[in-house]
Amino acid sequence: MIKQNNLLIFILTVGVFGILNTELGVIGVLPFMAERFQVSISQAGLLVSLFALVVAISAPTMPLLFSGIDRKKVMLLVLGIFITGNIVSILATNFTIALIARVVPAFFHPIYCSLAFTVAAASVGPEEAPKAVAKVFVGVSAGMVIGVPVSNFIAGAASLEMAMVFFAVVNVIAFVATFFFVPSMPVKERLSYGEQLSVLKKTMTWISIIAVILMNGAVFGVFSYLAKYLETITKLSLNTISIVLLVYGLANILGSIIAGRLLTRNAMKTVVAFPFVLGAVYVVLFMTGQFAAPMALITLAWGILGGIGGNINQYWIATAAPEAPDFANGLFLTAANLGMTMGTMVCGFFISGIGIKYVVLGGLMFSLLSIVSIFIRVYMCSPRKTSFVMSDMVETGTKLR
């Protein structure tokens, strides 16, 4: 049983990697896409921004609509749609067709990711659920860090078409593995749409959504401008910047692994400590960002925190609505994408107003606000309303039910 569960989680991780790879790997080939379709780089950017927008919009509804169907069939359906989208992208000679080939799979993106988190958590005991979800998050982190440089390298060394083939191959591998090695997973206790939507009546759910938006905004608001910061403030060369960004991504994967252990041992303490530690990293970054060596160490620590933060975000919403796990994971995806959008926008205002060095202030602002929202929820969970409860996932889920 343990071997079967490990294989299932591994396949889910590969599947999530394939989907995130398709979503974000295009960033690495945007210049090639612009050249191929004779459009500006900003127009080519629609291949990324529209995908993210569709994910944010569809995340609460699509997992809900497919929540009663055999999970293996749903996973195969989503992976099949992504494979088809990849093939159309390879053959497309028109930018509009390429854009449609991106947008259609984006509607199904939240279904697979939400399902992956739910199935991983359900495959083990409640106390081990955070660790199982963290393993799936490794696929998310790998998709973010590996997809961009690999697709860029393949497009430069071979061709844009071969880079797109890379996206398709990963999804095909996940499809074949799911077909042959994942057992049928019919939904035994199907929740009605009304029962799942009822979690939106809980104050706890909305407080948790706000916290996730703020925590993700704190991380990605600053990270979105890291390359520019390294170029302008730290004054690193382009090659060195690429290496630093790779370090951040690899550290992100490490953070996902660490998060599983932290959330299993003491979830509440991990969540409460996160914005404080992130804020401390930003203060050090602001004070020493002009020096290369400290900046490299800061990026390493920051990347680890980013990986931990992603797991915390999923945990925070999943435990706020444990009675509707698929819908809760959809809400997590929406909140995470909204946080990324809001963080990037607000930190952009700081840059426009007072300069790139002060982008950190935007991250600190989001961190401070997230502390308030986290403390409100922890206070609401406290039986005596006088002290913060430091409990594991099982205890938290019981209180929230």
Residue linked to tokens 């600053």: 222
Q: What is the pLDDT of residue 2?
A: 67
Query: Alpha helices of 289-324 — where are they, by DSSP H?
Result: 292-318
Residue type, 308: I
Q: What is the pLDDT of residue 220?
A: 84
Q: What is the pLDDT of residue 37?
A: 93
Percent of the chain with pLDDT over 90: 48
Q: What is the pLDDT of residue 218?
A: 94
Q: With bands split at pLDDT 50, 70 and 90, how would you rate the model's confidence at 396?
A: very low
Lowest mean pLDDT, pick from 19-28, 102-111, 260-269: 19-28
**Strand stretches in 324-391, DSSP E:** none
Q: What is the pLDDT of residue 323?
A: 86
- pLDDT tens track for 149-182: 788 788 888 888 999 999 999 999 999 999 999 9
Q: What is the pLDDT of residue 36?
A: 92
pLDDT at 393 over 60: no
Q: What is the pLDDT of residue 383?
A: 56
Percent of the chain with pLDDT over 70: 95
CB 305 within 8 A of CB 254: no
Q: What is the pLDDT of residue 19?
A: 93
Q: With bands split at pLDDT 50, 70 and 90, how would you rate the model's confidence at 398?
A: very low
Rounded-to-integer distance, Cα 113 and Cα 119, Å: 10
Joined tokens for residue 200: 């939106």
Average of pLDDT values for 76-90? 96
CATH class of the domain comprising 191-401 = mainly alpha
pLDDT at 30 over 60: yes
- pLDDT tens track for 31-54: 888 899 998 877 888 888 788 888
Q: What is the pLDDT of residue 342?
A: 86
Report which of residues 319 and 224 the model is more confident about. Answer: 319
Q: With bands split at pLDDT 50, 70 and 90, how would you rate the model's confidence at 105?
A: very high
In a 10 Å sphere around its CB, with 0-12 CB exposed, 13-18 middle and 19+ buried, how is residue 73 labelled? Answer: middle
* Other Cβ atoms closer than 10 A to 211: 28
Rounded-to-integer distance, Cα 221 and Cα 344, Å: 4
Average of pLDDT values for 251-278? 92
Q: What angle do CA 181, 184, 188 make, to 5 degrees?
A: 145
Average of pLDDT values for 258-285? 94
- Where are the CATH 1.20.1250.20 domain residues in the chain? 1-188, 191-401
Joined tokens for residue 102: 């991106």
pLDDT at 92 over 60: yes
pLDDT at 136 over 70: yes
CATH class of the domain comprising 1-188 = mainly alpha
How many Cα atoms occupy the beta-carbon half-sphere of 20 within 13 Å?
A: 23
